[in-house]
């Protein structure tokens, strides 16, 4: 999942348009993007929208509100084409366990196998950041995210290129330790500065993120470019695996005369898993 495009849940026209945006996934937002007075109407509008979906591309997620309102959101929107729930301002694993119970009941009501809907907790406070490993082990958790605006405010940090490096690296390490999918990179709120977006996305990729959330369709091409392996990278990764296989395992030497071993092979396999499918010959 290279990209996840946030779309306001109270804007039906934008939801329909976003399906053709080219994003790998959509995060339909019932939290920050929706005014308090409109949240209940938005909940049912999103549920009605999801009921009309007949094609699972792009994958559809819903960001629900924290607390009891979020449980009601999740119960209303759970269905066949919902890939997952992003739980805003997650603080404890107990909140995720409560969400799991609500989703299980909702899935059973519509004939889905329990566990169909995945969960992605958003870490937006210092306390949640320090509980990240506990959160990662909660039911249904598939991928973690950082809500960096709220996190920076809680930490008293002025966001810049490196000020949240610890938080980012911590969530990458926790995700790997818990066997989760790599975390989704945070949004860039300046959707006009695509050069900065590309630069910061490259930094996130080097840190271990494999995709990024976006707030505007104009950001998608740069994000996709950064998080899609190039043909040269794919060829180099395949060459590593071929050389190790020819050597019978252990160690080998790459095309540049450098030693390669299983650790290098693991990175090569990870890159190949992200590569676009090879077109079939005519």
Q: Tell me the mean pLDDT in the region 173-197.
A: 94
Q: Tell me the mean pLDDT in the region 33-40.
A: 96
Q: Tell me the mean pLDDT in the region 97-102.
A: 98
Q: Tell me the mean pLDDT in the region 9-18.
A: 93
Sequence length of the chain is 282
Q: What is the pLDDT of residue 257?
A: 86
Q: For strand 3-8 and strand 259-260, is the pairing parallel, antiparallel, or unpaired?
A: unpaired
Q: Tell me the mean pLDDT in the region 242-252.
A: 85
Does 279 have pLDDT greater than 60? no
Give pLDDT tens digits for 134-144.
999 999 999 99
Does 281 have pLDDT greater than 50? no
Task: Give how far Cα 109 sits from Cα of 6, 32, 51, 75, 105, Å.
Answer: 28, 29, 14, 10, 6
What is the gyration radius of the CA atoms in the chain, in angstroms?
Answer: 20
Does 250 have pLDDT greater than 90? no
Give pLDDT tens digits for 49-69.
999 988 767 999 999 999 999
Three-state SS for 142-187 is: CCCEECHHHHHHHHCCCCCCCCCHHHHHHHHHHHHHHCCCCCEECC
Task: Give how far Cα 155 sits from Cα of 13, 120, 163, 250, Å.
Answer: 37, 22, 10, 46
Q: What is the pLDDT of residue 271?
A: 82
The answer to whether 5 touches 26, Cβ cutoff 8 Å, is yes
The answer to whether 99 touches 70, Cβ cutoff 8 Å, is yes
**Which CATH fold topology does 3-227 show?**
TIM Barrel (3.20.20)
The answer to whether 80 touches 51, Cβ cutoff 8 Å, is no
Give pLDDT tens digits for 107-122.
999 999 999 999 999 9
pTM of the model: 0.90
What integer best gives the mean pLDDT of the chain?
Answer: 93
Q: What is the pLDDT of residue 280?
A: 43
In the chain, domain spans: 3-227, 231-274
The answer to whether 63 touches 88, Cβ cutoff 8 Å, is yes
Does 276 have pLDDT greater than 90? no
Q: Tell me the mean pLDDT in the region 185-200.
A: 92
Does 204 have pLDDT greater than 90? yes
Q: What is the pLDDT of residue 224?
A: 97
SS3 state of residue 260:
strand
CA distance 37 to 34: 8
Does 278 have pLDDT greater than 70? no
- Report the C-alpha dihedral over residues 109, 114, 120, 123, rounded to 10 degrees: 90
SS3 state of residue 76:
helix
Does 262 have pLDDT greater than 90? no
Which region holds residue 22: left if phi is over 0, alpha if psi is between -120 and 50, else beta? left
Percent of the chain with pLDDT strictly greater than 90: 75
């Amino acid at each position: 999942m290279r990209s996840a495009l946030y779309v306001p849940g109270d804007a039906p026209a934008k939801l329909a348009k976003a399906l053709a945006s080219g994003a790998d996934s959509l995060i339909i937002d019932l939290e920050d993007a929706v005014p308090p007075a409109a949240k209940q109407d938005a909940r049912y509008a999103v549920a009605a929208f999801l009921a009309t979906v007949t094609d699972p591309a792009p994958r559809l997620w819903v960001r629900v509100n924290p607390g009891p309102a979020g449980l009601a959101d999740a119960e209303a929107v759970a269905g066949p084409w919902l890939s997952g729930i992003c739980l805003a301002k997650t603080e404890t694993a107990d909140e995720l366990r409560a969400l799991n119970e609500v989703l299980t009941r909702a899935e059973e009501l519509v004939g889905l196998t329990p566990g169909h809907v995945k969960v992605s907790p958003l870490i937006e406070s210092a306390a949640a950041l320090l509980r990240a490993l506990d959160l990662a082990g909660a039911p249904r958790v598939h991928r973690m995210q950082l809500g960096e605006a709220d996190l920076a405010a809680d930490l008293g940090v002025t966001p810049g290129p490196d000020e949240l490096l610890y938080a980012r690296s911590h969530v990458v390490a926790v995700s790997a330790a818990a066997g989760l999918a790599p975390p989704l990179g945070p949004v860039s709120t300046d959707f006009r500065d695509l050069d900065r977006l590309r630069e910061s996305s490259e930094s996130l990729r080097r840190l271990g993120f494999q995709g990024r959330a976006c707030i505007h369709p104009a950001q998608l091409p740069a994000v996709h470019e950064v998080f899609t392996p190039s043909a040269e990278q794919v060829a180099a990764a395949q060459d590593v695996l071929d050389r190790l296989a020819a050597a019978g395992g252990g160690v080998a030497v790459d095309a540049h005369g450098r030693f390669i071993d299983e650790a290098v092979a693991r990175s090569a396999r990870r890159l190949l898993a992200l590569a676009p499918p090879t077109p079939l010959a005519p």
